[in-house]
Amino acid sequence: MMNTLVSTEWLAAHLNDVRVLDASWYMPADRRDAKKEFEAEHIPGAVFYDLDALSEQNTQLPHMLPSPERFARDMGALGVGDGDMAVVYDGAGLFSAARVWWMLRVMGHDKVAVLDGGLPKWKREARPLEQGPPRPRQAHFTARPVAGQVRDFAFMQKAVGNTQILDARSLSRFTGEEKEPRPGLRSGHMPGAVNMHYRSLLHADGTVKSDEELRRIFAEKGVDLRAPIVTSCGSGVSASILMLALARLGAPETSLYDGSWSEWGGHPEAEVVTG
């Protein structure tokens, strides 16, 4: 499953053969500066993927997928070319790295995997680190968007009640008991959505659970892996972790609601339920 996960052992052995991306991003409440942490220590040869700066800027919604032209330009500037194998990691173990993995796949680049356990596992194993700003070399990246991978508000209005929708947010946010971290959003979830907190798919150390465990978790939630599935979360970041797990299990028809709750929870025409 080289298009989903690679181990720290594998990356250490192939460090000179791949392009490594540090895609660390944190919620404001975490009070962490991902770029500053990257310059303090990162995997040798890695470049920093700034999720805020490199997402679509002509929108009020966070982390929206940029245009193919913009994505190709940014990837090329980061040194990721058409023939390159890309490995994405983050400083949480597994959180935002899955978003950049998904973005690359949506843009037609299948030679990409997430580092299982991320930077924390790499550091626990006392593997080498570098300091300082990134030093990418220019490459040529061609974006070839894959149809049906990204869903918008209009699609989701029709999907409610007709398609499996998996919500990766915490249970308390899903039920509406916890206030949304972004201002102006109602609390709750889309009608008929199933709550599947992304952390339920991970071990405590940030590594992904076995395929057998993942399959059991989806089954316990009543998810039919053979039928269409749309994932959602707060802003499209943790929903990508569900996409990663679904890819490992070979689910044939999956997509991600890019606006996620940042759009649905603030849209006056969107139905919101609690409990």
Which residue out of 5, 46, 51, 233 is catalytically annotated?
Answer: 233
Dihedral of the alpha carbons of 116, 120, 121, 126, in degrees to the nearest 10: 140
Task: Report which of 49, 187, 219 is spatially closest to residue 211, judged by C-alpha positions.
Answer: 219
Are the C-beta atoms of 225 and 253 separated by less than 8 Å? Answer: no
233 assigned to active site:
yes
The CA distance from 178 to 168, in Å, is 15
Task: Report which of 86, 247, 252, 254 is spatially closest to residue 166, judged by C-alpha positions.
Answer: 254
The CA distance from 27 to 180, in Å, is 12
Are the C-beta atoms of 152 and 233 separated by less than 8 Å? Answer: no
Residues with catalytic annotation?
233
